[in-house]
Structure 1
Amino acid sequence: MLTEKQIKAMKPGEKEYTVSDGRSARGEGVLFLRVRPNGTKEFYFQRRVNGSKTKSKLGTWPTMGLAAARELSRVEKEVAVAPATLLDLMDNYVNKLVSEGAASAEDVKWSFKRYIAEPFPALVKRPACLIGPADIRDILSRMIAGGVTTYCNRVRSRLHAAFQVGLEQEFNPRSYQKTDRKFGLSSNPVASVPVQADWEQPGDRALSAEELAYLWQVLPEHLSLVTSELIKFLIASGGQRPEQLLATERRSYLDDHLVIRNKKGRGIEGERSLHVVPYNQLMRDSLQVMDEISDTSAYPFQGKAEGTALHTNSLSRAVTKLYGRHADKFNGPFTLRDLRRTCKTLMAKARLSKELRDRIQGHAFGDVSSKHYDRYDYFDEKRAGLRRWEAWLRKNVIAAEQE
């Protein structure tokens, strides 16, 4: 058995070493102290699950004393470990989004792989019920150290949602009986990890007509053809959400309109609502360019890999880099998200009403009449509005940049 006096006397070696706090009954797990070469002393609880050892960090000595570590170890021993892993939990959430037709499903899957599964291969194999706030903190800290800001909050939110789905599955008496996959969750470890609120401040940047004209001019010169035409399509369509547009397959691009499954709202009986966007000629021109590249690809704005769409993060980085190369031509920095606000603002100059602009951009209407009684699709109004917006763009943006 360890003592505080022994821990205090332990000296660091050239390599880290561990000291166990005695023996435990088979299968219960054990508390041990890890001494690192820099002198740091950390308490861990280790157990064997499905034939593999898993360990959870409890705290650092002397901030955490031996008595407190033993108490936490006792609590850990009482946890009934379910076999389903963190990777199973993330896959479970992604599958739920796919079954609902959520536009964000592919992006969520990509972010889990990019920021969790690949950099933390051992962690994702650990039972989900043994994942603690410190593990979530370490995932997000690595992202922040790599220069990721706002998207760090997105990953946090998605992990929180994945654990919530797991908790509901665990405690909902109906869903619990429908699956053999058990997570053994009792709480959501992400809840204790704060959102980085300063990265969530609402933006107010909107490009002027002159700035938008210059942007339109330099697009084909400094970005790939697919990226350039996608940004033109986003602008011409009145500022659709890029992540939803990119998640929309070619089969949803019909003769005179496209259909976007709107992840921001739900329609009748909980189904994801559909957002219909009529074409104007500028939108058709961009789609024709994409067809000349490939008219059989799964997504019109295809990515580098066969059968995939261009990723939103790649598009966002392209816009940011484009500004960096031409900073002297703009009134300040702007991002991909600012283009949606730009369209919303400039469509007002094209004499489109706020209600029509909201409908073109697919905003949800929360009043009782709109939610429960209004089943009109406003297709003709949106088509007329987007044609008026096209005429304004040709006069104030496209013609202006050609002068």
Structure 2
Amino acid sequence: MWTDKTIAKAIRDAQTAEADVWLTDGGRVRGEGRLRLRARPNGRVGFYFRYVTAAGKQAQLALGSYDSTGIAGLTLKAARAKAGELSQLYQAGTRDLHALLAHRQAEEAAVREAANRAREEEARQGTFGDLLLAYADMLEKAGKASAKAVRNQVLKDVKSASPHLWTKPAKAISTDDCLAIVGKLEDAGTLRQADKLRSYIKSAFRAAINRRIDRERRFGIASNPASDIDKVSGSSNASERALSVAEFRAYWVRVQALEEPRRSVAMLHVLTGGQRMQQLARVTLADVDRDAMLMRLRDGKGRREKPREYWVPLLPEALACVDRLTPEGGFVFSANGGVSPMHTSYISDVAKEVCTAMAEAGELQGAPFTGKAIRATVETRLMKKPYRVSSDVLARLLSHGLGGVQAKHYAHDAMHEEMAEALAKLWRLLNDAPEPVADVIPLRRA
């Protein structure tokens, strides 16, 4: 019986003789047929199975090359097992082993080909990462200001944090996968970011199902794994922080003492009612109507495909800020003369600096505040007496609560005069000026 040492000697003999050396296994392998070995001078060794055909002729089948490790070929044990299997078939009456082996090889090749096609198809299918980036592309194409934030967050909190899910086919993503991604941010205490990411994932799948980002159905998504995930608890607790009248006036005084361009940017932010920073960053000189004293803004929040345009009245003092900010370029809210728009955190950074100064001076009566508090303060103070600006006017001014049926189809009045009056009241509030009182003329009884 052969051993690996026997095979090694056969290789040496073939090299010495410079001719092929054949060995036949010493005993029969379960009846008819024998295992043979061919050693060549170049060191290669092959296994064969010799048998007698139905016509009585000697034939042999190539089983494979020899490799003692079994990595690149057959071990001696594996070759004997193959020979034993063929011997059993031969004893069972199969005489054309060549045809049988060819059929088996064809079947194995078909299985391998099918597996390769499946792998290639899976590789062509869009991954979870492809889906999220396609969603960000869709937002960017639609002119949504949130596109950059969406792209940055999915790259950070999905690609970097969960790379195994990023490369997983989108249609294979489960609800548990989505919960795992969102849960990491919840565990880190960033509840707002966790809920934003939940919303992005849900919206991306919805967009794919509706064929808005899946024109060729390359994602193959039929259901939304994030649709049943609840909103992250504590992610949207409304901030009740609104500056008191004294704090608001102190903020206004300090803002006017800042160096340009922060002075005019922060002043204009207040004088236009504390508009959202993302919307202000897109305002250009083309959006300013000097004759009508109006500034056009575009609200792209929500699911609307096209941003909703609305106009905010400009006080003379606000128009003066515009002139100081744009000597060279076209962007109104800018830190470099209008050449490029300000970063969306620019006003928040200014507000943080002013808040710190107010705290050190003892002017802060409540908790520290951010730039978003200015918007809440404008609405809160103008609603109270002596100003009593209606909620309808404030909704028009600050572009919120305008999604109802009445606002969409019936309330076509832009309320420019009412908004201008509200901003005039804001000016008087900031500068501690009294509200005008109507003259009462008594009528004598006839």
The normalised TM-score by structure 2 is: 0.58
Partner residue, 1:359: 396
Q: Deviations over 1:328-383 (max 9, x none)?
A: 53232233332211100122343433322221112344564432133332223323
Q: Is the 8 A contact 1:237 1:279 kept in 2?
A: yes
Q: Deviations over 1:249-273 (max 9, x none)?
A: 5543443322222235789xx7542
Q: How many residues are paired up?
A: 315
Residues 250, 198 of structure 1: alpha-carbon distance in 2 compared, 3 angstrom cutoff: same
More relative contact order, 1 or 2 (CA 8 Å, 6+ apart): 1
CA RMSD of the aligned region, Å?
A: 4.0
Instruction: Name the amino acid aligned to 1:310.
Output: M
Indicate the SS of the match to 1:258: strand
Aligned-pair distance for 1:114?
A: 4.7
State the distance in 2 between where 1:314 and 1:228 align. 12
Structure having the higher helix fraction is 1
Correspondence 1:190 to 2:226: yes
Residues 96, 314 of structure 1: alpha-carbon distance in 2 compared, 3 angstrom cutoff: same
Q: Is the 8 A contact 1:81 1:130 kept in 2?
A: no
State the distance in 2 between where 1:193 and 1:369 align. 31
Instruction: Name the amino acid aligned to 1:214.
Output: A
Partner residue, 2:240: 204
The normalised TM-score by structure 1 is: 0.63
- Listed as ranges, the matches of 1:280-291 within 5 Å are 280-291=315-326
Partner residue, 1:400: none
Residues 117, 205 of structure 1: alpha-carbon distance in 2 compared, 3 angstrom cutoff: same
Residues 135, 367 of structure 1: alpha-carbon distance in 2 compared, 3 angstrom cutoff: closer
Instruction: Name whichever of 205-214 and 369-378 sits farther off.
Output: 369-378
State the distance in 2 between where 1:128 and 1:169 align. 14
Aligned-pair distance for 1:143?
A: 4.2
- Listed as ranges, the matches of 1:40-55 within 5 Å are none
Once the two structures are aligned, what percentage of the paired residues are identical?
23
Indicate the SS of the match to 1:277: strand
Residues 115, 282 of structure 1: alpha-carbon distance in 2 compared, 3 angstrom cutoff: farther
Aligned-pair distance for 1:185?
A: 1.8
1:164 to 170, 189, 206: 206
Partner residue, 1:331: 365
Instruction: Name the amino acid aligned to 1:236.
Output: L
Aligned-pair distance for 1:226?
A: 5.0
Indicate the SS of the match to 2:326: helix
Q: Deviations over 1:203-241 (max 9, x none)?
A: 32211111112223344778x855554333222111222
Partner residue, 1:89: 131
Q: Is the 8 A contact 1:101 1:261 kept in 2?
A: no
Gaps in structure 1 of 5+ consecutive residues: 1-24, 30-46, 52-79, 398-403
Q: Is the 8 A contact 2:265 2:334 kept in 1?
A: no
Structure number with bigger Rg: 2
Q: Deviations over 1:162-194 (max 9, x none)?
A: 121112228xxxx96xx2252122332334544
2:252 to 216, 227, 230: 216
- Listed as ranges, the matches of 1:93-108 within 5 Å are 93-108=135-150
Partner residue, 2:93: none
